[in-house]
Amino acid sequence: MTATTDPGTGATDLRGVPGATAEQTTITADDVLAAARQAAGRSVEHLLGRQDGEGWWKGDLATNVTMDAEDLLLRQFLGIQDPATVQAAARFIRGEQMGDGTWNTFYEGPPDLSATIEAYVALRLAGDRPDDPHMRRAAGWVREQGGIAASRVFTRIWLALFGWWKWDDLPELPPELMFLPSWVPLNIYDFGCWARQTIVPLTVVSAKRPVRPAPFALDELHTDATRPNPPRPMAPAASWDGLFQRLDKALHAYHRIAPGRLRRAAMNEAARWIIERQENDGCWGGIQPPAVYSVIALHLLGYDLGHPVMRAGLASLDRFAVWREDGSRMIEACQSPVWDTCLATIALADAGVAPDHPALVRAADWMLGEEIVRPGDWAVRRPRLAPGGWAFEFHNDNYPDIDDTAEVVLALRRVRHPDQARVDAAIERGVRWNLGMQSRNGAWGAFDADNTSPFPNRLPFCDFGEVIDPPSADVTAHVVEMLAVEGRAGDPATRRGIDWLLAEQEESGAWFGRWGVNYIYGTGSVVPALVAAGLPAGHPAVRRAVTWLESVQNDDGGWGEDLRSYVEEKWIGHGASTASQTAWALLALLAAGERGSRSVRRGVTWLTETQQPDGSWDEPYFTGTGFPWDFSINYHLYRQVFPLTALGRFVHGEPSALRTAAAAGKEA
C-alpha cells in the first residue's frame, strides 16, 4: 500500500505503508516543511564543518580492492615493499572479503572473478597461506569460474609481470601506435583520456614483456595446472570480433620481427608523451591506474627509482592512500576535490547560506585558482579553441572536463565575490570552452569532443570498461543548465543540446545515466536542465519523466537503483533507497513543479527521517559510475551534498538563477 494525500489539508496519510510508525500515520505539509528546515540546518552545519581551510571539500572515493592489490603488485615489481604498508593493505583487503571467499566490486554486488584473483594474490604477497580457510574458499571459487584464464586482460597483465601468465597469450599493444596520426583509426586520441593515459605506457610494457621472479606459484588458481593457458576460440572471420582477433594475431607476429630502430623510436616517443603529461604533483591525470603503469613503463626504459620523474611519480601514489582508524589502508582510484567543492557550494547556497558567506567565498577563491588556462589533449580535436575549464582532481591540467566546468560555473554564479570581475572573466572562459567542446550531434562528452570511434571497444585488449568518451545525457544536461543560467537558453548550441536530450529520452520517460547510477541520475540531471532552459513543466517529456519517477519510488518513500541496472533491465529504477538517489529524484520532481505532491513529501520525509544526529547521511551503496557496470564508485560526499540541495530547494524553492533562466527561456 502507498501513502495518500488529502487535497484539502495537505496531510500525507502513511497508514498501511511498510515501515510507517504510529506517529507517522498522518504528516501534514507543515510538518514536512518544518522537518525539512531542521534537517537542512543540521546538514549545513555538518557540511561547513568539513570544509578544508583552503576552501575545498573532498570526500573519500571508494572503488574496489583491485586498486589495493595492484598497488602491492607494483611495489613487489619495483622491489620497494614496506612491511607496514603491505600489512595495512592486506588488512583492508581481508576486510572486504565476502563470506563465500570472494570479492565484489560494489556493495552487495555479485562476486567478481578478476577482483577475487587480484585480492588473493595480494594476500599471498602479504604472507597469507593457500591453506588458510579464507584463501581456500577464494581459490576454490576461482577454479569454479574458469581460473585465471577466464579473468580480464588487465589481471593477466599483472600476472604476466611475474611469470604467472604468458605474454604470448595476451593481446598485443605495439608502441608504434604512437606514430599513427590523429585521423587514422585506432590512433591514441581515438581512446577516451583515461584509456589513452593507460594504453600509452602499456605499449612499452607490451613491447618489453618483463618477467620478475615470482615469489610463489599460483597453481591453485588454474583449473588445469598442467595447461594453465588454454587457447581462446576464434570468432568467425567475417565478424568484427573475428577481424580484430586476427589483427591481434598479426601484431603478435610483428612483435617477433619489429625493426629494432623503429621500436626504440616508438618507445622513446611513448616516454616523451608520458613525461610531458606528468602533473606538477607527480601523478598522471590525477588517476591512480595511469600513474602505476607510467611508473612501470619508465622504469623498463631505464629510469631508475631515484630519477626526479620517478621520485615524483612514486610520491604521488602515496597520496591516493587513505589510512583508516583500524590501521588499514585503502587506495583511491582518483580524488574529486573540484567536483566535491562545486557541488558543496551549490548545496549550501540552495539551502539558504548567504552568497557572501566566508565559506562560499573561500570555496570560490579555491575554484578560481584551479582554473586550467593551457591546452591539453582536448586540443587535438579542437586546435583553435582557447583554454578555460576545470578538472575533477587537485592536479590534472591536461584533462579539464566538461562536466566539472559546467558545475563550477553554476557554483560560482551562486557566490557574491569581492572581485566579481575576476569571477566573470573565469566564467566567460569556461562557457566559451564548453561551447567549443560540443560534439557534432549537439551533445557533450566528458573530456573530448566527438570521441566516438567504433573501433577501440573492439580490440581484444579492451575487455574492461569504456574506452571511448561519447556524449551522455547527464553531462549534456549539466551544460544546458549552465548555458541557461548564463542567459544562453536561446543560443543555437543550447537548442541543439536540448533537441539531443529530448531525442535520447527512453520510452519509459527516463534518461540513461553515464556517470551516476543510473536512470535516476540521468533523469535527475536532465529534467532540471530542460526546465531551466525554458521547457514548461507541462511539456510531454517532463511529464513522462515525472510519471516514471513516481512509478519507481520505493515503499519507504525513497528512491534507489542498483548498479545491475546497467546490465539487467529488471533493476532499472529499483534498489534499496539511498540518500543521493532520493535527492536526484526529488531535484527532478521539484524542477517539474511537483513540490506539493505526495511523492515529493514522502521523499523529503525519507531524507529527514534517515538523517543522522550529526546532520549527515549514511550510504554504503555505490551510486557513482566510472565505467557502467565495470567500475563503480562510492563518492562519500554524494550522500551529503545532494540531499542538502534537494532539501534546500524544497524549503526555498528553485534557486533564483534557475528561475531567472527559466523565465528568460520562456520569453525566447
Task: Establish if 559 belongs to a structural domain.
Answer: yes
Q: What is the pLDDT of residue 22?
A: 37
Q: Which three cell numbers stand for residue 66?
A: 583491485
Whole-number Å distance between alpha carbons of 598 and 132:
54
The CA radius of gyration of the chain, in Å to the nearest whole number, is 26
pLDDT along the chain (668 residues), means of 10: 45 46 60 96 98 97 96 96 95 97 96 98 97 97 96 96 96 95 94 95 97 95 75 75 82 90 97 96 92 96 96 94 94 96 98 97 98 96 96 95 98 97 98 98 97 90 87 98 97 98 98 97 98 97 98 98 96 98 98 96 98 97 95 97 98 73 46
Answer yes or no: is 354 within a domain: no
Domain for residue 665, yes or no? Answer: yes
User: Do the domain assignments include residue 543?
Assistant: yes
Tell whether 651 is covered by a domain. Answer: yes
In a domain? residue 654: yes
Is residue 383 in a domain?
Answer: no
Q: Tell me the residue range of the domain where 544 lies.
A: 1-49+509-668
Catalytic-residue membership of 377: no
Instruction: Say which CATH number the domain at 587 has.
Output: 1.50.10.20
pLDDT given for residue 7 in this prediction:
42
pLDDT on residue 26: 58
pTM of whole model > 0.85?
A: yes
User: Is residue 146, in this structure, part of any structural domain at all?
Assistant: no
Cα 303 to Cα 248, 268, 275, 298, 313, distances in angstroms: 29, 12, 11, 6, 12
From the list 68, 365, 397, 403, the catalytic residue is 403
| Domain count within the chain | 1
pLDDT at 668: 40
- Annotate 379-411 with b (16+ C-beta within 10 A) or e (fewer): eeebeebebbbbbbbbbbbbbbbbbbbbbbbbb
